[in-house]
Amino acid sequence: MPFIIAIDGPAASGKGTIARALAAHYGFHHLDTGLLYRATGAKGGDPIEAARSLAPDDLQRDDLRSAEAGQAASRIAAIPEVRSALVEFQRRFAAQEPGSVLDGRDIGTVICPDAPVKLFVIASNEVRARRRAEELGADPAEMLDQLQERDRRDRERDTAPLRPADDATVIDTSHISVEEAVAAAIAIVERARG
């Protein structure tokens, strides 16, 4: 049976960095599920049809890491029909041997609620805004406004709102290095693997 690691948290908290590191460390498959929503939004047109017709090639677009793509993803992620169209894609991905690491907003609560490891990665708003601004070459104050608006939308949506699973372990990356965050995550996975 594949071993699944579910990682959730808000934008720029460090969840993607931790997810990629864990996938590399264990030789697992990795899916940044936010890319599914970004790619769906970037396709344009009817978002429900875009989600239903999403193909792996759509995840290779160069513009999926832009702030615009992130905002579009957050808006369409609130549409229940879009979410349901992408749930099965994610669950099929998670079922691959020898294991998988999925990061997003609802992996531990909706997509893989039975995952043996669930992490909820957080960081302060100011740290997240600074990270995203550095990544995109943008103004930190503007990034802070965008992140707070996106957080509000993600937390308040009716379908699969952003929240930690009841059995998730929280990792706060505000004041630790990438190496320390990854080491903490590996320690949690090792305990779960016995």
Residue 15, annotated ligand binder?
A: yes
94 is in an annotated binding site: no
Task: Choose among 144, 110, 109: nearest CA to 125.
Answer: 144
108 is in an annotated binding site: no
d(CA 140, CA 116): 36
Q: Are 95 and 2 in contact (CB under 8 A)?
A: yes
Residue where the block lists tokens 């531990």:
108
Is residue 16 marked as binding?
yes
Phi-psi region at 27: left, alpha or beta (left = phi > 0; alpha = psi -120 to 50): left
- One-character DSSP codes across 105-121: SSIIIII-TT-SEEEEE
Separation between Cα atoms, residue 124 and residue 127, nearest integer Å: 5
14 among the known binding-site residues?
yes
- Determine whether the annotation assigns residue 11 to a binding site: yes
Alpha helix stretches (DSSP H) within the chain: 15-26, 34-43, 47-52, 67-76, 80-94, 125-136, 140-156, 178-193
Q: In whole angstroms, give the CA distance from residue 87 to residue 160.
A: 11
DSSP-derived letter for residue 168 is P
Establish whether 84 is an annotated binding residue.
no
Which residue ranges are tagged as binding site?
9-17
Which residue ranges are tagged as binding site for ATP?
9-17
